[in-house]
Amino acid sequence: MTGTIVAVSRSATHTMSKPNQDSIRLLAGLGVDGDAHQGAQVKHRSRVARDATQPNLRQVHLIHAELHDELAGRGFPVAPGQMGENVTTRGIDLLGLPTGTRLHLGGTAVIEVTGLRNPCVQLDGLQKGLMAATLDHGPDGYLIRKAGIMAVVLADGEIRPGDPIRVEIPAEPHKALAPV
């Protein structure tokens, strides 16, 4: 399975939206160079308040551009980076990947998927009702979170829009994604 990077984004401060960049640098064990969420320990404010020594399983946030397409069709136009993602992708079913999947981004960067992003009410600050639009229910009533996935950086690399993404699925048994 392969895909493409549509956009890359970062913000040095804790803002919901992240400005698009020409390129970003991923640093092994830390995340996106210059991003507010860069670090080996948690950086998301709610998690820091609970326990600042926890490992940062949310170093890189990815959203599939197909979600942006879906949201636009439902009256919620959203641009890459607006929902806080660092990497906007196209062509990969991010939500269908198992935990531990490795994504090879560009020439050298490698990240490992840790889990789902749990959408928060801050999305409604962008557009009223956006948070609810990123949630759905499966046939058995289970909650489907569509606001992207989180990952940690295994290998450094600079990535940019247009770069390829190669998916490396881990050996079975697979573990379904859960919020991290």
Check the CA dihedral 81-113-67-90 and report its sign. positive
Percent of the chain clearing pLDDT 70 (strictly above): 100
Interval 32-91: pLDDT, tens:
999 999 999 988 777 778 888 899 999 999 999 999 999 999 999 999 999 999 999 999
Q: Which of 131, 124, 147 is nearest to 61 (CA)?
A: 147
In whole angstroms, give the CA distance from residue 139 to residue 141: 6
Residue recorded with tokens 């079913």? 93
Cα angle value 154/158/81 (rounded, 5°): 95
Mean of the per-residue pLDDT values of the chain: 95
Interval 79-93: pLDDT, tens:
999 999 999 999 999
The CATH number that domain 2-168 falls under is 2.40.33.20
- pLDDT on residue 4: 98
Single pTM value for the model: 0.96
Instruction: Give the pair of three-digit tokens for residue 93.
Output: 């079913």
Q: Which residues contact 108 (CB under 8 A, 6 or more apart)?
A: 155, 156, 157
In whole angstroms, give the CA distance from residue 56 to residue 38: 9
Amino acid at 146: K
